[in-house]
């Protein structure tokens, strides 16, 4: 096919591109597909240097944004992304935080206005395949929900129908992650006990507490499972580039070798299906090449 193949993902914060699409970005770039990343916010309410949390007095939101802008540049380089578009909204913080109400925040931005800006990029690039999050923002973060809303609204303004995917994690894999998180929490409780701090382990939030936390997808409903084993080095590099946020994450603790063994697949569900694909494909561009 003569048409240039183009992939575009709409992500909420710097680092989301690496965690949910790092593998497919690198793989598609290796295959000669043009890859575009739209990052909606500057990530002001991530951790500040030294792991300082956003509610701490010495957390400087603008400094965090400046650090994360450079980290995003490094991740984009590692993934071979052709074009980065920063929409430049302010991070809205987690659900219920007062930052949600900041008029500069992405959550406070009118959907029509942000969608119009995204639609401009979509008209320039004409991606056949677009990726963002489901209506719960995958895990309930307001900026992820807003990314979903503006993407769906922008696509409606196009003169063609792209294939839209949402990132997903199969229930079978989510069960393994939950076990890992629980094991890490037990280790922290033990470490605290040695320091004389006695506490109960924090239970992970589940969909029983909040529907938006329904992160897993039944395995049979996964529409694309992409083998990213040829791209796990780059995915690890891209995650590592965001060191102010994830130096402490379970990915980094795993180390590169275990990461390459474990993180071999990225999963998606199809939200639009103009090519009438059936079943689970192994390529986001199935039907286009």
Residues found near Zn ion in the complex (CB under 5 A) = 12-13, 16
Nearest CB to Zn ion, comparing residues 126 and 243: 243
Nearest approach, Cβ of residue 147 and Zn ion (Å): 8
Q: How far apart are CA 20 and CA 242, in angstroms?
A: 14
Nearest approach, Cβ of residue 144 and Zn ion (Å): 6
Nearest CB to Zn ion, comparing residues 12 and 281: 12
Nearest CB to Zn ion, comparing residues 12 and 231: 12
Measured CA distances, 5 to 1, 56, 132 (Å): 9, 45, 18
Phi, psi for residue 65 in degrees, rounded to 5? -60, -40
Nearest approach, Cβ of residue 192 and Zn ion (Å): 28
Nearest approach, Cβ of residue 6 and Zn ion (Å): 23
Half-sphere exposure of 43 (CA within 13 A, CB side): 24
Nearest approach, Cβ of residue 141 and Zn ion (Å): 6
Nearest CB to Zn ion, comparing residues 147 and 284: 147
97 CB-near residues (< 8 Å, 6+ apart): 45
Nearest CA-CA partner of 7 in 30, 150, 147: 30
Phi, psi for residue 77 in degrees, rounded to 5? -65, -45
Nearest approach, Cβ of residue 97 and Zn ion (Å): 14
Nearest approach, Cβ of residue 10 and Zn ion (Å): 12
Nearest CB to Zn ion, comparing residues 33 and 44: 44
The residue whose Cβ lies closest to Zn ion is 13
Nearest CA-CA partner of 253 in 152, 151, 180: 180
Nearest CB to Zn ion, comparing residues 35 and 146: 146
Percent helix, strand and coil across the chain, each to the nearest 5? 45, 15, 35
- Encoded tokens for 14: 């710097």
Q: How far apart are CA 169 and CA 175, in angstroms?
A: 10
Q: How far apart are CA 59 and CA 56, in angstroms?
A: 5
Nearest CB to Zn ion, comparing residues 146 and 217: 146
């Amino acid at each position: 096919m003569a048409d240039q193949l183009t992939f575009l993902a709409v992500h909420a914060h710097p680092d989301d591109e690496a965690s949910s699409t790092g593998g497919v970005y690198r793989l598609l770039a290796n295959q000669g597909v043009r890859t575009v990343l739209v990052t909606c916010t500057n990530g002001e309410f991530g951790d500040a240097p030294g792991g300082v949390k956003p509610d701490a007095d010495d957390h400087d939101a603008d400094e965090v944004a400046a650090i994360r802008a450079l980290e995003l540049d490094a991740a984009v380089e590692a993934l071979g992304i052709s074009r980065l578009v920063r929409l430049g909204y302010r991070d809205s913080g987690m659900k219920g935080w007062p930052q949600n109400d900041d008029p500069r925040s992405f959550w406070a931005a009118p959907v029509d206005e942000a969608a119009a800006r995204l639609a401009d990029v979509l008209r320039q690039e004409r991606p056949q395949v677009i990726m963002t999050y489901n209506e719960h923002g995958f895990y309930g973060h307001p900026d992820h929900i807003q990314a979903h809303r503006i993407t769906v609204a922008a696509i409606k303004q196009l003169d063609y129908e792209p294939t839209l995917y949402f990132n997903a994690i199969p229930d079978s894999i989510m069960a393994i992650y939950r076990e890992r998180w629980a094991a890490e929490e037990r280790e922290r409780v033990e470490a605290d006990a040695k320091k004389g701090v006695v506490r109960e382990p924090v239970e992970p939030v589940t969909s029983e507490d909040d529907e938006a936390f329904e992160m897993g997808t039944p395995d049979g409903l996964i529409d694309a499972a992409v083998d990213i084993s040829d791209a796990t080095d780059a995915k690890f590099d891209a995650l590592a580039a965001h060191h102010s946020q994830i130096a402490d994450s379970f990915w980094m603790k795993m180390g590169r070798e275990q990461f390459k063994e474990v993180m071999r697949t990225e999963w998606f569900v199809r939200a639009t299906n103009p090519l009438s694909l059936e079943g689970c494909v192994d390529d986001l561009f199935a039907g286009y090449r």
